[in-house]
Structure 1
Amino acid sequence: MVARLIVALTLLGSAPAWAAEPSGCDKFKWPIDKERAALTAQDRLKIASGADLAIPAAATLDLKTPAEAKLPTSPERKPKDGTFAGFTRFQKAPKAGTYTVSLSSYGWVDLVQDGEILKPMEFSGATDCAGIRKTMKYDLAAGPFVIQVSGVTENTISLAVLPSE
């Protein structure tokens, strides 16, 4: 009985280590060089929430409080108090295919196309990688879509939307 208790306490004590996120640029599930370069480019656009972009896109998005951001669709995850949100529209229809959506720092992404929030096909993220925090792959139909970002701790975030290779 004591042995079982010791094993259980040992496992519980190491549980936070199981939940730790990968750290470092080499911990992403696929190469991120293109996305990281786009997110850190000196000439990336600076846009207000609600602005239009076209693919390929790399921009720093100005964010607002969730109430002021007026996201077109309710986010899947309710933003915490004290965080920021914003969105950008892609009106020009890209060709159907797989695209990466990448963020410079932590944030929740809702990609909305034809009134539906799309789930990413794949997701990868790591801490301690300058310029990029997470990247997701989406299978998009040809047509306009919206990217909403919420739960961001700063009032700006860089995002990149690029064709996936």
Structure 2
Amino acid sequence: MYARLIVALTLLGSAPALFGSAPAWAAEPSGCDKFKWPIDKERAALTAQDRLKIASGADLAIPATAILDLKTPAEAKLPTSPERKPKDGTFAGFARFQKAPKAGTYTVSLSSAAWVDVVQDGEILKPMEFSGATDCAGIRKTMKYDLAAGPFVIQVSGVTENTISLAVLPSE
């Protein structure tokens, strides 16, 4: 019994050396070259000097690049409850789009980490593709959505700052 305990403790003590000190799935990709597709156009839009500065709830048209003013989740009054509950101390907001110019794939990109809900016809749409990386100035995540030619809303929540840059562009 005592020998088994010593063997078990020895194996537990050597586990970090054998498997590394942190799980591999914990590390997020780092650097602009780690996105799954080229992000030059989206990154340029998110860092452009002529981005609109808009209040939460404002109307935008595609192509859109804006700095969205955010509020506490209670003050933001998101039109649809977000799929993920925002953490305390974070910010939220939304932008309305009267319509996508035509049905198709559109890219939604953000400057910093946030939960995104794209809502069309009362339904939260799932992204067709998602990519993100840390340590890439100006862009943190980008997603591709299949939109119908109709009105939709983009909601962001869980943002640590009170503004976020948003770009909505036709996908190539």
Instruction: Normalising by structure 1, report the TM-score.
Output: 0.92
Structure 2 residue 10 is matched with structure 1 residue 15: no
1:3 offset after TM fit, Å?
14
* Structure 1 segments unaligned to the other structure (5+ residues): none
- Residues 128 and 72 of structure 1: is their aligned pair in 2 closer, same or farther, counting only changes over 3 Å? same
Q: Deviations over 1:138-158 (max 9, x none)?
A: 011110100000000000000
- Residues 93 and 164 of structure 1: is their aligned pair in 2 closer, same or farther, counting only changes over 3 Å? closer
Residues in 1 aligned to 2:163 and 2:169: alpha-carbon distance in whole angstroms: 20
Helix, strand or coil at the partner of 1:130: coil
Partner of 2:35: 28
**Any conservation in 1 of the 2:61–2:97 contact (CA below 8 Å)?**
yes
> More displaced, 132-141 or 93-102?
93-102
**Any conservation in 2 of the 1:94–1:144 contact (CA below 8 Å)?**
no
RMSD value, Cα:
2.9
- Residues 124 and 7 of structure 1: is their aligned pair in 2 closer, same or farther, counting only changes over 3 Å? farther
**Any conservation in 2 of the 1:83–1:154 contact (CA below 8 Å)?**
yes
1:15 offset after TM fit, Å?
4.3
- Residues 75 and 11 of structure 1: is their aligned pair in 2 closer, same or farther, counting only changes over 3 Å? farther
1:7 offset after TM fit, Å?
13
- Residues 14 and 68 of structure 1: is their aligned pair in 2 closer, same or farther, counting only changes over 3 Å? same
Q: Between Structure 1 and Structure 2, how many residues are aligned?
A: 165
Residues in 1 aligned to 2:64 and 2:7: alpha-carbon distance in whole angstroms: 51
Residues in 1 aligned to 2:42 and 2:158: alpha-carbon distance in whole angstroms: 21
Residues in 2 aligned to 1:161 and 1:11: alpha-carbon distance in whole angstroms: 52
> More displaced, 76-85 or 5-14?
5-14
**Any conservation in 2 of the 1:28–1:126 contact (CA below 8 Å)?**
yes
User: Percent identity between the aligned chains?
Assistant: 96
Q: Deviations over 1:12-67 (max 9, x none)?
A: 95443322100000000000000000000000100000000000000000000000
Residues in 2 aligned to 1:120 and 1:78: alpha-carbon distance in whole angstroms: 18
- Residues 14 and 67 of structure 1: is their aligned pair in 2 closer, same or farther, counting only changes over 3 Å? same
- Residues 125 and 4 of structure 1: is their aligned pair in 2 closer, same or farther, counting only changes over 3 Å? farther
**Any conservation in 1 of the 2:78–2:93 contact (CA below 8 Å)?**
yes
Residues in 1 aligned to 2:3 and 2:45: alpha-carbon distance in whole angstroms: 53
1:8 offset after TM fit, Å?
11
